[in-house]
Amino acid sequence: MIISLSHKIDSSTPMYGGKKGFEFKIESSISRGDTANTQRWTFPNHLGTHIDTPYHFYQNGKKLDGDPPSFWFFKGEKIQILNVKLPEKKLLIEPTYITNKDISYDAELLILKTGVGKHRNKEKFWKYNPGISQEFAIWIKEKFKKLRVVATDSISVSSWQHRDVGRKVHKILLNPKKPVLIIEDMDLSKIASETVFKMLYIAPITVKGADGGPCTIFAEVQKK
């Protein structure tokens, strides 16, 4: 079974910090007598389900077009879902907040499921989003030696309420010496800890020289 793990983009797509997001206007319309329907889109590149690359925080870092197509393919046994249970009023993820009994440290793709996606149409989704602590970012880099990408259903690995910490977390993960790319605002509503992945495919928008951008994610999972 194939499922989508990325959100569709439209004018209601939330932005980190509550900033202006996706806008479009009709440039030509068959209903108005034009030959074809066309639109013009305007949006920030860190919108919806998107990728952060090292260039986002490092001038000498790898850009969005810096990896071969094979980089974006992940075999099921190399994917690890971590379930996060944050204590009340806590917005920074620590290793002790992971509820998994068994963890595969050979993972190349790490998915952090916080459950915050259920609030995606509310202000709290961006204003009080769970982020990653420095300790957790370091723990990720130390434990998962083969890790290529870390993904989350939060709008950012940087909590809006702890933006100073968030900047440091981005730098830890995206460090060009051994970068772990970041996917934010992933749609995890269709998966759980017992989900068995066969393959997962990430298709980033291929803008040359970009520091990040929206992506489409499909996964092949085993039917229940």
Q: Where residue 8 sits, what CATH number does that domain have? A: 3.50.30.50
**pLDDT-based confidence at 135, cuts 50/70/90?**
very high
Q: Does position 224 have pLDDT exceeding 90, yes or no?
A: no
Q: Are 166 and 128 in contact (CB under 8 A)?
A: no
Tell me, what's the pLDDT at 185? 98
Could you give the number of structural domains in the chain?
A: 1
Phi–psi pair at 83, nearest 5 degrees: -85, 125
Tell me, what's the pLDDT at 188? 97
Residues 6+ apart with CB under 8 A from 142: none
Of 116, 121, 118, 128, the closest CA to residue 158 belongs to 128
Residues 6+ apart with CB under 8 A from 186: 5, 6, 7, 49, 111, 151, 152, 153, 217
Task: Give the number of other CB atoms < 10 A from CB of residue 174.
Answer: 23
Q: Are 99 and 81 in contact (CB under 8 A)?
A: no
Rounded Cα distance, 167 and 152, in Å: 16
Q: Does position 4 have pLDDT exceeding 80, yes or no?
A: yes
What mean pLDDT value characterizes the chain?
A: 96
Rounded Cα distance, 61 and 182, in Å: 14
Write out the residue range of the structural domain in which residue 141 sits.
2-221
Per residue in 19-69, pLDDT tens? Answer: 999 999 999 999 999 999 999 999 999 999 999 999 999 999 999 999 999
Tell me, what's the pLDDT at 223? 81
Rounded Cα distance, 144 and 160, in Å: 26
Q: Distances in Å between the alpha carbon of 157 and those of 39, 102, 135?
A: 32, 23, 13
Q: Does position 144 have pLDDT exceeding 90, yes or no?
A: yes
* DSSP letters for 27-90: EE-GGGT-SS-EEEEE--SS-SSEEE-GGGT-TTS--TTSS-GGGGEEEGGGEEEEEB-PPTT-
**pLDDT-based confidence at 194, cuts 50/70/90?**
confident
**pLDDT-based confidence at 149, cuts 50/70/90?**
very high
